[in-house]
């Protein structure tokens, strides 16, 4: 049986639409440079406000990927 070893890369992403959209954008960007992604963990949700209006939804997340042998 082969061993599986994973690594975590922190990603911060934003969207002016929603938290869900920010997560999807962050994952899409991570897939352009990381291989073998097996999951993610959202660590923090934030909202940037200007003039009493929501300007951006932001997420801080860990992208979990398997290391190649």
State how beta strands 6-15 and 37-50 pair: unpaired
Residue 3 is predicted with a pLDDT of 83
Of 12, 20, 4, whose CA–CA distance to 65 is shortest?
Answer: 4
- The predicted model scores a pTM of 0.88
- Domain boundaries in the chain? 6-66
Residue 57 predicted with pLDDT over 80: yes
Residue 53 is predicted with a pLDDT of 97
- Are 3 and 62 within 8 A, CB to CB? no
pLDDT tens per residue across span 26-55: 999 999 999 999 999 999 999 999 999 999
User: CATH fold of 6-66, please?
Assistant: Dodecin subunit-like (3.30.1660)
Say which range, 1-5, 6-10, 11-15, 25-29, has the weakest mean pLDDT.
1-5
Q: What are the CA-CA distances from residue 3 to residues 13, 36, 68 (Å)? A: 31, 14, 11
Residue 13 predicted with pLDDT over 90: yes
Neighbours of 13 (CB within 10 A): 20
């Amino acid at each position: 049986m082969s061993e599986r070893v994973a690594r975590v890369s922190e990603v911060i992403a934003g969207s002016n639409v929603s938290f869900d959209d920010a997560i999807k954008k962050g994952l899409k960007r991570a897939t352009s440079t990381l291989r073998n992604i097996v999951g993610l963990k959202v660590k923090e949700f934030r909202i940037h406000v200007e003039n009493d209006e929501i300007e951006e939804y932001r997420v801080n997340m860990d992208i979990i990927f398997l290391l190649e042998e």
